[in-house]
Structures are given as structure tokens and as C-alpha cells.
């Protein structure tokens, strides 16, 4: 089984942990301390929130300012349109910012937001049955 660990620099670790917990994700304390928090998205997807000092230990160069430039788009699948809307609402109610308008392309429906550090998250529902019928 392959897993993915998305590593993100955060300015305020406590604020970022609270944001992702408000979205419904849990924190794995086994891989968390005062410099890092492991957000469990699924059994195979984890987001490592790292303080700037901790993040610098793994990179060369500067930490990009995600508020000024988009460094990555992280897209999560959703099981329904309602789940897309629910996650967007939770993000906006807990310090996230809307990023682009809702995308409604019939069988594909998505939303996007920035977390408190400016990292862009997309949530996408794909109605596979409708997509198969449409060719």
C-alpha cells in the first residue's frame, strides 16, 4: 500500500491544527509534537503541518508565500455534492478563504478554498455513473 504525506509550512501550528480538525480530520499524536502535526485525511493520505523552523530543515531555498503565489493545488475527492458544500462551509467558517467559484460541470462538481496559511485545497465530486453514460 502506497501512502502520501503532504508537507506544508504553517505560521501558527495551533491555528492550523484547529482548522483541519474543524474540517473533520483527526491529528495523529504519534507523529505530532510542538513543531509538527500529522493530519489524518484517510488511511493513506496524511498532511504534515510543520512550523516554519521545522519545514526549513527539509528544504533548500525559501518558504514560498502561499498568500502571494499558488505553490500547489491539493484536491480531495468527495462522495457527493453535499460533502463538497459541507467541507467548503466548514473551511470558510473556520478561517479559510474562498478561492475560486464553485465548479459545476454536470457530473463533476467542486469547490476550492485556501487554508489559513494560503494553501489551496480543492474538493471534487465526480458522478462516475453519469460520466459513463455521457461517454
pLDDT, tens digit, for every residue of 22-51? 999 999 999 999 999 999 999 999 999 999
Q: How confident is the model at residue 135 (pLDDT cuts 50, 70, 90)?
A: low
Strand partners, 78: 125
pLDDT tens for each residue of 59-105: 999 999 999 999 899 999 999 999 999 999 999 999 999 999 999 99
Query: Rounded distance, CA 124 to CA 87, Å?
Result: 11
All 3 cell numbers of residue 135? 461517454
Rg (CA), the chain: 16
- Of 128, 95, 100, which Cα lies nearest the Cα of 112? 100
Q: Are strands 26-28 and 36-40 parallel, antiparallel or unpaired?
A: antiparallel
**Residues 56, 47, 96, 19: what is their CA dihedral angle, to the nearest 10 degrees?**
-100
Percent of the chain past pLDDT 90, that is, above it, reads 91
**Residues near 9 by beta carbon (within 8 Å), at least 6 away in sequence:** 50, 51, 52, 55, 63, 117
What pLDDT was estimated at residue 82? 97
What pLDDT was estimated at residue 6? 96
**Domains parsed from the chain with CATH numbers:** 1-61 (3.10.180.10), 70-134 (3.10.180.10)
Q: How far apart are the first and last CA of the chain?
A: 31
Amino acid at each position: 500500500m502506497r501512502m502520501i504525506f503532504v508537507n506544508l509550512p504553517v505560521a501558527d501550528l495551533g491555528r492550523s491544527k484547529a482548522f483541519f480538525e474543524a474540517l473533520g480530520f483527526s491529528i495523529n499524536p504519534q507523529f505530532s509534537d510542538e513543531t509538527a502535526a500529522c493530519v489524518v485525511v484517510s488511511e493513506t493520505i496524511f498532511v504534515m503541518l510543520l512550523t516554519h523552523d521545522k519545514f526549513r530543515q527539509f528544504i533548500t531555498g525559501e518558504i514560498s508565500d502561499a498568500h502571494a503565489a499558488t505553490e500547489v493545488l491539493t484536491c480531495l475527492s468527495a462522495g457527493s455534492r453535499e460533502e463538497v458544500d459541507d467541507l467548503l462551509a466548514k473551511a470558510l467558517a473556520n478561517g479559510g478563504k474562498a478561492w475560486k467559484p464553485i465548479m459545476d460541470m454536470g457530473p463533476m462538481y467542486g469547490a476550492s478554498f485556501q487554508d489559513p496559511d494560503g494553501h489551496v485545497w480543492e474538493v471534487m465530486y465526480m458522478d462516475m455513473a453519469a460520466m459513463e453514460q455521457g461517454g
